[in-house]
């Protein structure tokens, strides 16, 4: 009887192994197709499967859907991208009792975060905000189990800045920075800069340094919007220091931030000298 049970599960074990191999090779479409195919072909077995195994398959599928959603979004295939995000949203619905509750919530937050980036990408800012707020609520309730709450705050910062809500954007960047610095002290690496951040993702970086750089940079940008140049300059300089430490002076990101620092310093010096000349009476008739 046990041998029959193992034989029935063999297609799923093989499909999961193939999924992992295809994902590692970058063939995300193929990875998702192989899991979908076995779940369709073996529906009778699916109904009898232990929830632990079924949850693992669903978790892998939700990750695959999100990966493909972001891939097609970057390629401007918005219709295809939306379909994958909708699949991920359906799979992580609370009605799916076959998924481990904690894993489902983590993947639900990831899905909502990505959907926020999706709607932001073509200007549906209020819809994007709704999804990012949903992701934030899940992360706050998960007691640290979610993957990258700092990334959600940075996405919210970028979105709110685009909406002209710079004080609120600044608060989210500050929250992101505090989470990242706490994680760094605890030696718990965070992931790459999120899709909605003001700066591009840093290739090859897997720790919190690049996100700390983004958080400082975003705070600098928001202080500029709020007409606080001294605070902006301080945060740009911290962003630059963080970037230099991890990526070096020649990296494009370091150079981009250095340019922001120089431009703002130039404006501050221009303002200082204008005021100084006025006090000395230079140019007065």
Q: Which CATH number fits domain 163-285: 3.30.70, 1.10.10, 2.60.40, 1.25.40?
A: 1.25.40
Tokens of 283: 């140019």
Identical fold, 1-147 and 163-285 = yes
3-state secondary structure at position 211: helix
CATH code for the structural domain at 1-147: 1.25.40.10
Domain boundaries, the chain: 1-147, 163-285
The pLDDT profile of the chain, 285 residues, written as one tens digit per residue, is: 355 567 878 888 898 899 999 989 999 999 999 999 988 988 888 888 888 888 999 999 999 999 999 999 999 999 999 999 999 999 999 999 999 999 999 999 999 999 999 999 989 999 999 999 999 999 998 877 777 889 999 999 999 999 999 999 999 999 999 999 988 887 654 444 454 444 444 333 335 668 899 999 999 999 999 999 999 999 999 999 998 888 888 888 888 888 888 888 877 766 644 443 434 454 444
Cβ-contact 227, 248 below 8 angstroms = no
Distances (CA, A) of 167 to 137, 160, 175, 218, 281: 20, 9, 13, 12, 37
CA distances from 236 to 154, 167, 179, 243, 261 (A): 16, 17, 19, 10, 6
Nearest to 16 by CA among 44, 43, 56: 56
- Helix, strand, coil percentages in the chain from 3-state DSSP, rounded to 5: 75, 0, 25
The pTM assigned to this predicted structure is 0.82
**Quick one: pLDDT at residue 111?**
97
Across 101-128, b (16+ Cβ under 10 Å) vs e yields: eebbbbbbbbbbbbbbbbbbbeeebeeb
Predicted local distance difference test score (pLDDT) of residue 171: 97
pLDDT of residue 196: 42
pLDDT at 216: 95
Residues 6 or more apart in contact with residue 5 via CB below 8 angstroms: none
As a whole number of angstroms, the distance between CA 215 and CA 31 comes to 34
* Polymer length of the chain: 285
d(CA 61, CA 41): 16
């Amino acid at each position: 009887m046990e041998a029959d049970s193992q034989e029935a599960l063999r297609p799923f074990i093989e499909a999961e192994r193939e999924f992992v191999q295809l994902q590692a090779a970058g063939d995300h479409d193929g990875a998702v197709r192989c899991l979908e195919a076995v779940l369709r072909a073996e529906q009778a077995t699916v109904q009898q499967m232990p929830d632990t195994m079924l949850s693992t398959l669903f978790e892998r599928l939700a990750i695959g859907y999100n990966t493909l959603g972001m891939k097609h979004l970057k390629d401007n295939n918005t219709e295809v991208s939306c379909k994958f995000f909708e699949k991920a949203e359906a799979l992580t619905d609370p009605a799916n009792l076959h998924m481990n509750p904690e894993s489902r919530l983590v993947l639900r937050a990831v899905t909502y975060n990505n959907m926020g980036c999706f709607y932001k990408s073509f200007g549906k800012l209020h819809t994007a905000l709704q999804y990012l707020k949903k992701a934030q609520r899940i992360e706050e309730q998960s007691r640290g189990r979610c993957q990258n709450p700092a990334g959600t705050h940075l996405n919210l910062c970028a979105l709110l800045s685009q909406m002209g809500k710079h004080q609120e954007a600044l608060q989210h960047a500050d929250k992101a920075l505090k989470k990242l610095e706490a994680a760094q002290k605890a030696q718990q690496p965070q992931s790459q800069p999120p899709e909605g951040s003001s700066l591009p993702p840093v290739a090859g970086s897997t720790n919190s340094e690049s996100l700390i750089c983004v958080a400082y940079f975003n705070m600098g940008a928001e202080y500029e919007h709020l007409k606080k140049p001294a605070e902006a300059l301080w945060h740009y300089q911290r962003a630059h220091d963080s970037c230099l430490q991890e990526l070096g002076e020649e990296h494009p990101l370091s150079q981009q931030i250095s340019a922001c620092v120089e431009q703002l310093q130039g404006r501050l010096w221009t303002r200082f000298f204008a005021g100084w000349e006025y006090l000395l009476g230079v140019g007065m008739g």
